[in-house]
Structure 1
Amino acid sequence: MSLGADAASASVVSPIHIIDAIGPFFRGYDRRVINWSKIPWDHVGRQGAAWWEQVCRDLNVLARQAASWGFNTVSIDDVAHLALHDMVEPDVRHRIERYRAEMRRCFAVLKKAGLNIHVTMDVFSATPWLKKSLRIARKPVNVYLAELMDRFLTDFPEVSGIIVRIGESDGKDVKDDFHSQLVIQTPEQAREFLLALLPTFEKHQRLMVFRTWTVGAYPIGDLMWHRDTFSRVFDSIVSSALVVSMKYGESDFFRYLPLNRNFFRTSLPKIVELQTRREYEGCGEYPSPTGWMYEEYARELRQAENVIGCMVWCQTGGWVPFRRLAFLDAEAVWTDLNTFVTIRVMKDGALVEDAVRAFAKERRLGDADALLELLRLADECIRELLYIEEYARQKLFFRRVRIPPMLQVYWGNIFVSHSLRRLLRYFVRDADAALRSARRCLDNLDRMMELAERAHVPVKDIEYMRDTFRLLALSREYYFAEDSADIEPRILAAKVEYKTKYAKRGLRPRYRIKTDFKPLLLNPRYLAWAVQFLMRRQRGYRVVDRIVVLDGLSLIYRFIAARKPHWIPGFASKSAMGVDVVFK
């Protein structure tokens, strides 16, 4: 590893097309809401030989299918549960030894299918004992991690690389020996980490895939979109071991996001992260086609230097009740279709239409033209009813985060509230257009039922989509219609009907509909002032952001969390890492 003015002298890295392989490890994981961010090790640790045999069989199916489609690498969790170090307590080391033995068998299955193996790693995952031991020994985290990587890469020659995540840690629901935390808080610390660890990867001739994904915490929190932060981390670093991995947009896996401009700001090898099991768009419970969106990104990425592939998340991401397993469940047809089309578009430059027809032929589906029409109608429904287009197209930032282009749906929840009504009416000026698009999408869904029969794809999935999107259309009416005096009881009645229909034994998981019609006692003028003060429409920080919003709000939030915790919604404080991370 070296420092230089021009990273173009770095060694050429072969194309990488990664698919995640965590799905088999969720077999038998019976929870209403599942954290799909990584393998549930607390669940895995309780399993016996028969379960591990099933995992190997599932991995064989997944790996052979993925390889035949064009993927050459799999991602799988995780270094903390597979790497041995003397500072880890003996009982945890004993469990690690068992995981290592079982995962070696899994790795053998993946290698036999012709796939390279990349293992994920959070910086930094530790047990309470390990953190205490590092403090007593006064050993810096980077030194410990360099030792850990050296041992791990020696012990596992079948592993081709490590996928490093620095900007997000485990959710609050994770109960495990290891729990990750955010220890890299500044661009300088991120750079120090790279300089400390890359020599180890170069020594072993393995890759470090460094993800720029962050959730907005600390000064490093804008790494994924801020050009200066990105430059302070990567400028002049040259290494044959480094690949930079970026999500396609400046936020999470949403639509209506322009391509991340950081792809054009470094000559280091880069891959683009894409998601085919759309965690904010139903997780494959109904069609949410990504092909045309990714086709557009692929065209733009041809102008960027040294983009060497993609990382496709087909199972990872989100806290949801939905549980279809990509590649393994016949019901996961929509995720499988997205994944097939994505790799054909990104790797081979195929047209979406040709890829869809090829998938229909491979899966022996029905009328491919009917399937294509269904997907076009579904794409319109997602863009115009799951999202509110006028709001979604607005560029909004709060502190170090680009605000998601979707407000009323989050993972497995649909929110219908007076506060959202006020907020959306502030941002959406053409209410009539929003209402018309909702009605048009409902017509699409009726047409999609017929097309699904012709295409030989699950009609029940379209019925479920229609039932769910009717609730979205009712909420749209609540938000924007001026002459719907009975809208609240209609929403509540529809909510009960939806819950009753999909709560029956053996039927699919459903969205939770969270309603709150209590008026927000805030003058619209004050709401406008608050929005203009707290949010900005530019990437760069304003003076008020640097003086008040970045630092001042952190102090205010900590005061509220300590003195008035009931002011913070339970969903926001308990979900994932908790909303407090945005204020760090």
Structure 2
Amino acid sequence: MKKKCTIIIVFFLATTIGLCLARMLNAFLAIKISEKKLPKLSEQEIGKRYPALAFRMVDMGGVGIDVDKANWGKDYSHNIRRFEKVFLKEEPFINPIAFDNVYQDFCHYIDRMSDLGFNAIEIPGFLEFIDFKGYEIYSQDSLYPKRHAVLRHFYKRFFDYASQKGMQCILYTDMVAINSALKLYFKKHLGGMDVEREEFWQVYQRGLEEAFDYFPQVKGIIIRIGEAGAVYNRPGYDYGSELLVRTASSVKKMLRSFLQVAESRQRYIIFRTWSVGVGEIGHMHTNPHVYEKVLGDLHSEWLIVSTKFCKGDYWSHLPLNPTLLTGKHKRIIEFQARREFEAFNVTPNYIAPLHHYALANFLKANKNIYGAWVWSQSGGPLRQGPMMTYPFHGLWLWTDANVYATARIAADPGCTLKEYTEDWVKNTFGKNSQVVQKMTQLLLMSHETLASGLTIPAFAKKYVTGMGLEVPPVIYCYWDFLESSTSIGSHIYFVAKKELPEAIREAFSPVEQTREMKKILASVEPEITQGKEWLPLLKKSLEYQESLLETLAYHKEFLLYFYRWIDEGDSESLAKWNAAQMNYTLVQKSHYQRHQHNLDFPAYNFEMSDECIKQASMSSLMIWSSRLLLLLILLFIYYKTESALLSLGMATIFIFIFLGIFSSFAAPVFTMSLGILASFYLAGLYFFFRSSSPFHKILLPVLASVALVLSILSIRGPFYLWYNFWTSDIFRIFLCIVLSIILFWHLYILFTLKNRYFSFSGILSRLCLLIGSIVCACGMVFCYIGMEKTLSVLNDELLLVPGITSRVLGITTHLNMPENMPYFILISGSVLFIVGTILILVQHKDKYHLSETPGFAKS
């Protein structure tokens, strides 16, 4: 009776814990879908004339960016590495020849931008030329002050020329900006980099005072807090940033500190709301309530708030940014001319109509719109895209159309789309009426063609939240990375499945539109009277677009039909995804062969999509392998061998084979790592408990958990499990409850081993020792290799979360994992190991017990 009560209690406890875990998991992974209010460009009319925006800023374009063919196309880093050939680590700190070349480019660029109507330029720099006088940060014999003096002279020439041309100079820096000496100072005097302390910001306040005093030409500084760290820092360069400002209070302390300087010197603090979902202030960029909470009580005529025009990053299929419709601060609207998420603008992609629509709406709603900031080069991993620097190298002409038009819009918000578009065509290709008409037509159809071709509109045009965040509409093809993780594939199909025929049709429509654009260009080629040198590149760009979009079209067809087969198991979908897979393989191979070594029109990154195709093609094999292994395990359980060693050996073999099937035999690191840990655990059970009970009974819950997962895999393979995991609340509840019951069943068996060898504390001590060893081993791996790198390798093998996450901020940042997590795991494992060891030593007072008892000794 007592045993039955115990079993009932354990079962109830396991079920309750399983339900709680499932509830937490469902809250995090639940998919929510809603409609977007997307811009309707036909409603563009402004209704009245507005004066020119007071502040019209542009970035530095391609000035100072070295076109290094040897290292281009191999780097997802966001650091542009501007002035890389100019700055030297040692004295004289500046390469004079490289500086003269860059200075000439800068003067040419300033002349061009001034002629377009810009009156301000953003120039990256801050920490590189300030000494924090009054603080003992740099020693007297340090190279830092010497370097900073040289760099101040370097920057001064830029500032002087820009000012002569009527361009206001605005510095740009990430916060927290840091170098080795500064970090050491904070550690010594503040115990670390504590952004919640006013003393911390007083140091930077002094630095800003220096910067403004050194450079009277500088009219302000832009501050970004939302992106920083390794992917944005330059390797080997002792000036970088860390992502530390994550709370409303730290933002306010920082801004109040800087505004004191700005107000006393009448310079602007331009604060970017770009916060990319990180921390408490993560939605400041798009949520008016969070914006007001963070910035609402900050008031200064010298504070300007700068925000991207769309509700998110520079993605297609987004509403306008609602935070720009309200607020009491002066506002700057950020526009990107070289669209990083749309083939880096190396193909036709005329975004000006959308920019005009956005500006018109913001001017109507918000009297505090003060200016615009156009990015002609900035944004995204520069060297992973085409080798284009505006306006110096590569095919920058399509970007120039956006720069020209957005500059015209900022200078005259009331001008018409027809006016500025036709003016650019005339300036570029001549005034032939047929050329003007046809090239204008090509431009106006370009953005919708490319945006639809690079996304799955049935998914992208809806708000989709899942995995704890809003899924970007461009996640299917992010930069040059074709996404095929099970989470994203599952979400895309789940959202688009009701519109599947239309989604498939939309996949191929941009290919046909691209071919129409090729015909348009060919029809006017003989009539073009100027800019003929561009024609070969323009034709290549359209050929490149056609090749890319055709490849993506067949991949979309494969992806959608494959997941419909996973979902429904119908033979029609099976046939169609197999056909689409073969077509994709053919066109992808053609695309890759034509463009893999072409730096101007580089092949896209199909690494993850090819891995998905490879694993999907093995689905049938994995289904039958799962069924066979499941049968073998059930037979093994049924016949229950009395040999503990044989049971251990067979269970170990089963687990390694199971891990192989679970990962479609495509994840060697995952299989070996988890297989070794599981083998160690089984060996520990064998070493400690083999003589206390029939060993196959101890292994039964372990094999049951394997059998449970195999039974799911045997339906339609590993993708079936992951599709249901990502999309089904009921499946997650079932999985959590059953696995929780199996875990408690395993513990129940171990803790009821009551014989002459073990007591409750004896079992507990051995489990602490065993589990502590495993956790400690994991912690050591994470500490040595790095948690981010470890998770990225495993994710690339298993295709779980978007592969691009590890190539931007990183998986650990997106999941908000503490930096010290590896050490926490290591310490936790060590504590368990030590506790287990101490308990065993306390229990064994008689040293002779060690030789008498299996395992360690009697308890």
TM range (shorter): 0.7 to 0.9
Deviations 1:43-81 (A, max 9, x none): 542472222112111112211111111111010111122
8 Å Cα contact 1:321-1:510 kept in structure 2? no
**Separation of aligned partners in 1, 2:730 and 2:440:** 41
Work out whether residues 281 and 294 of structure 2, in 8 Å CA contact, stay in contact via their aligned partners in 1: no
In structure 2, the partner of 1:465 is 545
Q: 1:183 to 1:254 in 2, by over 3 A?
A: same
Residue in structure 2 matched with residue 543 of structure 1 by the alignment: none
Match of 1:441 in 2: 510
How far 1:201 sits from its partner (Å)? 0.5
1:267 aligns with 2:466: no
Match of 1:353 in 2: 418
Matched, 1:166 2:365: no
Contact 1:126–1:180 (CA under 8 A) maintained in structure 2: yes
Residue of structure 1 in register with 2:118 after alignment? 71
Q: Distance in 2 between matches of 1:477 and 1:410?
A: 18
- The match for 2:461 is 393
Structure 1 residue aligned with 2:274: 213
Amino acid at match of 1:123: M
Find the counterpart in structure 2 of residue 431 from structure 1.
500
- Counterparts of 1:562 and 1:376 in 2: how far apart (Å)? 43
Which amino acid in structure 2 is aligned with residue 527 of structure 1? W
For the residue of structure 2 that corresponds to 1:218, the secondary structure is: coil
Letter in 2 for 1:463: E
Using the TM superposition, give the Cα deviation of residue 264 of structure 1 relative to its aligned residue in structure 2, in angstroms: 2.7
Q: Deviations over 1:360-414 (max 9, x none)?
A: 1222346121112112332221232212212112113458854311122111222
Match 1:335 to one of 380, 388, 399: 399
Which secondary structure state, in structure 1, belongs to the residue aligned with residue 244 of structure 2?
coil
Q: Deviations over 1:227-251 (max 9, x none)?
A: 3321122223221210010111231
Q: Deviations over 1:334-365 (max 9, x none)?
A: 11101111122233122222111111122234
Structure 1 residues 82-91 or 308-317, which shifts more? 82-91
Change (3 A) 1:229 1:523: closer
2:800 paired residue number: none
> Shift in Å at residue 126 of structure 1?
0.9
Question: Are 2:206 and 1:147 aligned?
Answer: yes
Assess, with a 3 A threshold, how the Cα gap between structure 1 residues 504 and 230 changes in structure 2: closer, same or farther: closer
Correspondence 1:579 to 2:811: yes
| Cα distance, 1:476–1:186 mapped onto 2, change above 3 Å | same
Q: Which moved more, 1:377-386 or 1:400-409?
A: 400-409
| One-letter code aligned to 1:121 | T
Counterpart CA distance in 1 for 2:730 and 2:276 is: 21
Q: 1:95 matched to which residue of 2?
A: 147
Structure 2 Cα separation of the partners of residues 505 and 237 of structure 1: 50
Identity of aligned residues (%): 19
Cα gap change, 1:564 to 1:67, in 2 (>3 Å): closer
How do 1:176-195 and structure 2 match up within 5 A? 176-195=237-256
Q: Which residue of 2 aligns with 1:544?
A: none
What TM-score comes out, normalization by structure 1 length?
0.87
For the 8 Å contact 2:343–2:385, the answer to whether it is kept is no
- What residue in structure 1 maps to residue 698 of structure 2? none
Could you say which residue in structure 2 is the equivalent of 1:203?
A: 264
| Residue 564 (structure 1) shift | 6.4
- C-alpha displacement at 1:113, in angstroms? 2.3
Larger strand proportion of the pair: 1
Structure 1 residue 20 corresponds to structure 2 residue 59:
yes
Tell me the residue number matched to 1:536. none
When structure 1 is superposed on structure 2, of 95-104 and 520-529 the one drifting more is 520-529
For residue 127 of structure 1, the aligned residue among 162, 166, 179 is 179
Paired residue secondary structure (1:140): helix
| Aligned-partner Cα distance in 2 for 1:413–1:313 | 22
Check whether the contact 2:66–2:85 (CA below 8 A) recurs between aligned residues: no
Name the SS of the counterpart of 1:76 in structure 2: strand
Q: Secondary structure at the match of 1:109?
A: helix
Q: CA deviation at 1:214?
A: 0.9
Moved more, 505-514 or 76-85: 505-514
What residue number does 1:474 align with? Answer: 554
SS at match of 1:310: strand
Number of equivalent positions: 548
CA RMSD of aligned residues (A): 2.8
Q: Report the Cα distance in structure 1 between the residues aligned to 2:787 and 2:720, rounded to whole angstroms.
A: 22
Counterpart contact for 1:416–1:513, Cα < 8 Å? no
Indicate which of 575, 578, 594 corresponds to 1:485: 578
Aligned partner of residue 50 in structure 1, secondary structure: helix
Q: Report deviation, 1:420.
A: 4.2
Give the TM-score taking structure 2 as reference length.
0.60
Deviation for aligned residue 1:98: 2.7
Cα offset for 1:474? 1.2
Higher CA-based Rg: 2
Determine the C-alpha separation between the residues in 2 that align with 1:68 and 1:99: 28
| Contact preservation (8 Å) 2:85, 2:95 | no
Verify the 8 A CA contact 1:216 1:581 in the aligned structure 2: no
Distance 1:22 1:108 in 2: 18
Alpha-carbon separation, structure 2, partners of 1:198 and 1:150: 11
Could you tell me which of 476, 490, 515 is aligned with 1:422?
Answer: 490
Residue by residue over 1:437-491, the C-alpha shift from the partner in whole angstroms, topping out at 9 and shown as x without a partner, is 2322211111111222326551111111111111111112112343242322332
Matching residue of 2:189: 137
SS of the residue 2:578 aligns to? coil
Describe the shift of the 1:573–1:383 C-alpha distance in structure 2 as closer, same or farther (beyond 3 A).
Answer: closer
- Identify if the C-alpha distance between structure 1 residues 562 and 271 changes in structure 2 by more than 3 Å, giving closer, same or farther: closer
Contact 1:121 1:163 in 2 (8 A): yes
Distance of 2:560 and 2:53 partners within structure 1 = 52
